Structure 1
Amino acid sequence: MRNVAWASAAGPPIEAAEGPSRSFGELCARQQGAFSRSQAIAHGITDKVLARRSRVRQIQQIHRGVYAEFTGPLPWATRVWAAWLVYGPDAALTGATALQWYGVDGAAGDDRIHLALPHSHRAIQRPGILVTRHRGYETQLHGARTPPIVRLEVAALVRASADPSTSRQAALLLDVCRQRATTPERLLAELDLLTRLPARQVLRRIVLDAADGVQSFLERIYLRDVERAHALPPGRRQVRAASKDGSGVHVSYRDVEYVRYGLLVEIDGQAGHSDSASRWRDMHRDNISAISGKLTLRLGYQLVTEPCVAAAQVASALHRSGWSGTARACSPGCTAASIAV
């Protein structure tokens, strides 16, 4: 990577028209090294200078009329700015690109830069950029971000609605809530405004589950396919628990707790359980529960393929603790009711 000293491009540094004492070099730095031909010309850098610097590989062209002030691989942030410069001030980051810009973990989607335009604008697709047109575009923008970007809730819902997989839709929306990037209440409020969004009702059910305390795809499978489908008593979710030992007070959260029956259910996927510290924290939490007289059941990815077996195990544990109900068969071939005795 090789940066350009723009002070020598066309004499002394030329101040930017858009702000006091902002040189062209500072403008490029703000835009992660990307700049447009029109910006260069506004700062006194001619087409002849741009052509010469491109020829000697001091700058590189990214798109027609858009450059990077260095050569070599393009960082993701530079590609984002370059894509935005192609479409001008009316474009905004959206979808997976917006989520990644907000810093949401695991938000990266395909390699394209996702941009939104007002519905009245003509969308000409360019390589490496996915442009979508939106009704009510102006009302979806975050008011104080550069480059312009839709609100995080809009980005998450747009990204989820574009995915044909319900499981991936759930994973995304539950993740942004679990990471505290937003809340189910904000997502529901945004859904009320996005009346034309594809898969809107499916997304609403997912967000309502998040409002009930579900934080992961597996927890949603448990709620829907184990607890509700087999008429088990409703559990409380993400229950805060504190314990004290010689090293201080330890706070943890129970995935599902059947408080009346002293039964805990922990849903173990990869997230939060893949390192030694997490496993030790889980063991400590389970030991404290056992000491207090509570039984802990652990369920994992078998929930996806064997929810009836999981329902039978939970129902059996509930019966031992005094539950007098009966697990309901979720389908003609379900054996949960006959096993859970």
Structure 2
Amino acid sequence: MRNVEAVRDADQPDETAERLTRLFRELRQRQSGAFSRQQAVAHGITDKVLSRRCRARQIQRVHGGVYVDFTGPLPWETRVWAAWLAYAPDAALTGATALRWYGVEEVRGDDRIHLAVPHPRRVDQRAGILVSRHRGFAAQLHGSRTPPIVRIEVAALMRASADPNASRQAALLLDVCRQRATTPQRLLAELDSLTRLPARQVLRRIVLDAADGVQSFLEQVYLRRVERAHALPTAERQVRVESTDGSGRRVRYRDVRYSPYGLVIELDGHAGHSDSESRWRDMHRDNSTAMSGELTLRFGYQLVDEPCLAAAQVATALRLRGWAGTARACSASCSVARNAA
């Protein structure tokens, strides 16, 4: 962009031109190389210069009136800035784009940049950008950030609501809480304001599970389809446990713990548990539990297909350790009664 910045109004004093050059460079750095025609003109760059540099492949046009100061593929951050500049200033990052901008891990979504605009605004869709119209747009924004972005609670709820898959809805909302990007209480408060949100009641039940200590989709399956559905005792969740080994004091968390009966349930929902390091970590954790006098039962994604069998095993372990209750069949075909000791 040095040549672009060099061609200015000849009447501009050198000092003014140098200041504009510096300010324009700083602007582009903040915007990951993207800039709008209006920004270029405000810094002394003419349309004629922009056209010439595009033809010389020194800059590239991304959207109408939006450029980047390099050629070649665009990094994700540059694509976000370019998309926002195409609809600025009355637009904001939302959905999967906002979640990724906030740093939420493992956000799944399509490759488009998701933007929100005020509901009365009518806009044309552009390639690679998905624009949604939001009621109460101004009230959903996070402070005065640039580019504007909706609050993380709005982004998470909008993203989950748009996904027809209940397990992915749960995984997203539980993940943002587990990663401490937000809290169940904030999500519930935001839900109260999003009265037109599709699947609102389903999302509320997921967030209420998060408020009860559930941190993953598998933990939710265990809570709903194993523990509650079969009338097992109410467990503690994500229980902090400190222990000491050769490397010093360590802190671990038990996924599910029936403290009165000395029974711990560990739920392994990640493929990473198949590698040797993770298996060793799991065995070390189970051994530590055993040395404390507690019993560990470990379940994976078989819970989704066989919750009744898991409930029978947990009920048997609980009864062996003093529980006087009886597991309840969740349906006419439930096998918990004949499988539980």
1:41: how far off? 1.3
Look up the match of 2:302. Answer: 302
Asked if 1 retains the 8 angstrom alpha-carbon contact of 2:4 and 2:50, the reply is no
The one of 4, 10, 32 aligned to 2:8: 10
Q: Which residue number corresponds to residue 111 of structure 1?
A: 111
Q: Which residue is equivalent to 1:27?
A: 27
Secondary structure of 2:252 counterpart: strand
Deviation at 1:84, TM superposition (A): 0.5
- For 1:226 and 1:127, locate their aligned partners in 2 and report how far apart those are by CA, in whole Å: 46
Seen in structure 2, the aligned counterparts of structure 1 residues 307 and 118 have a Cα distance that, compared at 3 Å, is: same
Higher helix residue share: 2
Corresponding letter in the other structure for 1:8: A
Residue 240 in 1 paired to residue 240 in 2? yes
CA contact (8 A) 1:262 1:295 kept: yes
Which has the larger displacement, 286-295 or 96-105? 286-295
- Whether the aligned pair in 2 keeps the contact of 1:123 and 1:133 (CA below 8 Å) is no
Q: Which residue does the alignment assign to 2:58? A: 58
List aligned pairs for 1:261-276, cutoff 5 A. 261-270=261-270, 273=273, 276=276
Report the Cα distance in structure 2 between the residues aligned to 1:75 and 1:32, rounded to whole angstroms: 9
Q: Rate the CA distance shift 1:228–1:115 in 2: closer, same or farther, 3 A.
A: same
Offset, 1:124 = 1.8
The SS at the match of 1:98 is: helix
Q: Deviations over 1:269-316 (max 9, x none)?
A: 117736554433322221111011110000001011111111111111
| Alignment root-mean-square deviation, CA | 1.7
Q: What do residues 254-278 of structure 1 show as CA deviations (whole Å, max 9, x unaligned)?
A: 0000011100000001177365544
Q: What SS is found at the alignment partner of 2:256?
A: strand
Instruction: Provide closer, same or farther for how the CA distance between residues 272 and 251 of structure 1 changes in structure 2, counting only shifts above 3 A.
Output: farther
Q: Distance in 2 between matches of 1:264 and 1:158?
A: 35
Give me the whole-angstrom Cα distance separating, in 2, the residues matched to 1:340 and 1:308.
10
AA of the residue aligned to 2:281: R
Aligned length: 335
Summarize the Cα distance change of 1:14–1:276 in structure 2 as closer, same or farther, 3 Å threshold: farther
Q: Deviations over 1:29-77 (max 9, x none)?
A: 1111111111111111111111110101001110111111100000011
Q: Within 5 Å, which residues of 2 pair with 1:89-168?
A: 89-168=89-168
Q: Any idea what SS the aligned residue of 1:273 has? A: helix
Note if contact 1:4-1:70 (Cα within 8 Å) is conserved in structure 2.
no
Does residue 339 of structure 2 align to residue 339 of structure 1?
Answer: yes
Separation of aligned partners in 2, 1:183 and 1:5: 50
Equivalent residue of 1:250, what SS?
strand
Query: Cα–Cα, structure 1 residues 88 and 96, in superposed 2: closer, same or farther, change >3 Å?
Result: same
Residue-by-residue CA offset, 1:96-117 (whole Å, 9 max, x unaligned)? 0000000110124111100011
Corresponding residue number in structure 2 for 1:324: 324
Counterpart residue number, 1:81? 81
- CA–CA distance in structure 2, aligned partners of residues 54 and 274 of structure 1: 51
Please state how far the C-alpha of 1:129 moved relative to its aligned partner. 0.6
Match of 2:43 in 1: 43
Q: What amino acid is the match of 1:144?
A: S
Look up the SS of the partner of 1:23 in the other structure: helix
Contact kept? 1:14, 1:44, Cα under 8 Å: no
Identity %: 72
Is the 8 Å Cα contact of residues 5 and 45 (structure 2) preserved in structure 1?
A: no
**Can you list the C-alpha shifts for 1:152-206, whole angstroms capped at 9, x where unaligned?**
1110011000000110000000111111111111111111111111111100000
Distance in 2, matches of 1:91 and 1:187, equals 22
Distance 1:122 1:15, change over 3 A: farther
Shift of 1:7: 3.5
| Distance in 2 between residues matched to 1:181 and 1:272, nearest whole Å | 23
The letter of the residue matching 2:240 is R
1:78 partner SS = helix
Q: Using the alignment, how far apart are the partners of 1:99 and 1:62 within structure 2?
A: 23
What does the per-residue CA deviation read over 1:217-264, in whole Å, with 9 as the maximum and x for residues that have no partner? 111001011111111111100001011133211110000000111000
TM (norm. structure 2) is 0.94
Q: Which residue of structure 2 aligns with residue 177 of structure 1?
A: 177
On the 8 A contact 2:4/2:53 being kept in 1, the answer is no
Gaps of 5+ in 1: none
Normalised TM-score (structure 1): 0.94
Equivalent AA in structure 2 for residue 265 of structure 1: I
Q: Is the 8 A contact 2:104 2:176 kept in 1?
A: yes
Q: Does 1:218 align with 2:218?
A: yes
> Quick one: which amino acid aligns to residue 67 of structure 2?
Y
What is the one-letter code of the residue matched to 1:10? Answer: R
Write the letter of the residue equivalent to 1:65: G
Do 1:93 and 1:114's aligned partners in 2 also have CA atoms closer than 8 Å?
A: yes
